[in-house]
Chain A
Amino acid sequence: MRGFPTRQILLLLVLAFVPAIGEALYFRGRVSWQSPVPSSERVTVEQAKSWGSRVLWIDARPDREFAHEHFRSALSLNEDRWNEQLPDVLAAWSPEKLIVVYCSAEGCSASRAVAERLRKEAQLKNVFVLDGGWEALRAAER
């Protein structure tokens, strides 16, 4: 190796763009490029509150955080106790309900995971993830 193989590295870095761009074009309709949750599956605090009593609030945070403080009428459903808590959620659900799942804050991922499982495993529709999570909800309550 005479010196550092800068040209080879640059060539490889550039070449990798070709199939990557091709694949990105192939997947372009199925990927949410700006947020992990597609905009059609997200809801703001204002929107969710405007739905009134049709909303079934789900708190995806760990038990201790739920016990400490949670949104009124929210049910706890987290991945740690999924099997124990799911029956309560299903009992409270009805077809006209809009499910809004929240976790701690914007950066958390628990709400996404729970929403995904509600759609796939419980076969529920109209499941949304709350923008800003509990932080935004609590701020709006003040």
Chain B
Amino acid sequence: MNLFWRIVDFVVGGIFIYAGVLKAMEPIRFASDIENYHVIPWALGVRLAFYLPWLEILCGAAVIFRRLYAGGLVTLLALTLVFIGATISAKVRGIDITCGCFGYASDNLGFIAHLALNLIILIGVVLLLRRTAVSTEARS
């Protein structure tokens, strides 16, 4: 069973590292993607575009290497919830966006596909968090 959870660690962590690297390679493009949501001003969005990809990479690595593991998972949970919220909010406001979640790799994904992908990631993160909480309780 431990092997199963390690695989989930690698999948979830790997997805965030992949997404982070793609965005870190093209921060200006990611800044434009953030701008398209019309939620925050450009001056803040462009700074987030340089910061968020590295946060994703670090948290993804934390999950894979099991260092700062719980902190990494909670941060990834928060990021995923923000991404889901922003995607739904844009859809509700009738904004046609590319979510930018995976840089150029997500250009052709529609709203439903983005949402489904984010929900699958969310489920993975929540399962890992739950597993961590359960195993910690069992030890103590």
- Evaluate contact between A12 and B28: CB separation under 8 angstroms: no
Question: Of residues A1, A13, A30, A107, which shows the largest number of chain B Cβ atoms within 10 Å of its Cβ?
Answer: A1
Whether A95 sits at the interface, judged by CB under 8 Å, is: no
- Evaluate contact between A2 and B140: CB separation under 8 angstroms: yes
Give Cα distance in the complex from A32 to B32, angstroms: 11
Give Cα distance in the complex from A17 to B57, angstroms: 12
Residues of A within 8 A of B110 (CB): none
- Evaluate contact between A8 and B68: CB separation under 8 angstroms: yes
Whether A36 sits at the interface, judged by CB under 8 Å, is: yes
Interface residues on A, range: 20 to 34
- Stretch in contact with the other chain, from A18-26, A40-48, A60-68: A18-26
- Evaluate contact between B46 and A1: CB separation under 8 angstroms: no
Give Cα distance in the complex from A13 to B42, angstroms: 21
- Evaluate contact between B71 and A9: CB separation under 8 angstroms: yes
Residues of A within 8 A of B140 (CB): 2
Task: Specify the main secondary structure of chain B where it touches its partner.
Answer: helix
Residues of B within 8 A of A23 (CB): 24, 27, 50, 54
- Evaluate contact between B71 and A8: CB separation under 8 angstroms: yes
- Evaluate contact between B70 and A12: CB separation under 8 angstroms: no
Whether B62 sits at the interface, judged by CB under 8 Å, is: yes
Select which of A11, A27, A36 is within 8 A of B71 by beta carbon: A11
Question: Of residues A6, A23, A30, A34, which shows the largest number of chain B Cβ atoms within 10 Å of its Cβ?
Answer: A23
- Evaluate contact between A30 and B132: CB separation under 8 angstroms: no
Task: Specify the main secondary structure of chain A where it touches its partner.
Answer: helix
Query: Between A and B, how many residue pairs show CB distances below 8 Å?
Result: 85
Give the Cβ gap from B95 to chain A, nearest Cβ, in Å: 10
Residues of A within 8 A of B75 (CB): 9, 12-13
- Tell whether A1 pairs with B24 under 8 Å between CB atoms, given A12-B62, A36-B32: no
Whether B38 sits at the interface, judged by CB under 8 Å, is: yes
In the complex, the chain B residue whose C-beta lies closest to that of A4 is B74
Give Cα distance in the complex from A35 to B69, angstroms: 37
Residues of A within 8 A of B62 (CB): 8, 12
What 0/1 readout, one digit per residue, does chain B (14-42) give for beta carbons within 8 Å of chain A?
00000000001001100110011010001
Whether A120 sits at the interface, judged by CB under 8 Å, is: no
In the complex, the chain A residue whose C-beta lies closest to that of B53 is A20
Give Cα distance in the complex from A17 to B129, angstroms: 25
Give Cα distance in the complex from A36 to B36, angstroms: 11
Whether B125 sits at the interface, judged by CB under 8 Å, is: no
Give the Cβ gap from B38 to chain A, nearest Cβ, in Å: 7
In the complex, the chain A residue whose C-beta lies closest to that of B95 is A109
Give the Cβ gap from B139 to chain A, nearest Cβ, in Å: 10
7 smallest beta-carbon distances between A and B, as pairs? A8-B71, A5-B70, A16-B55, A5-B71, A20-B51, A8-B68, A9-B71
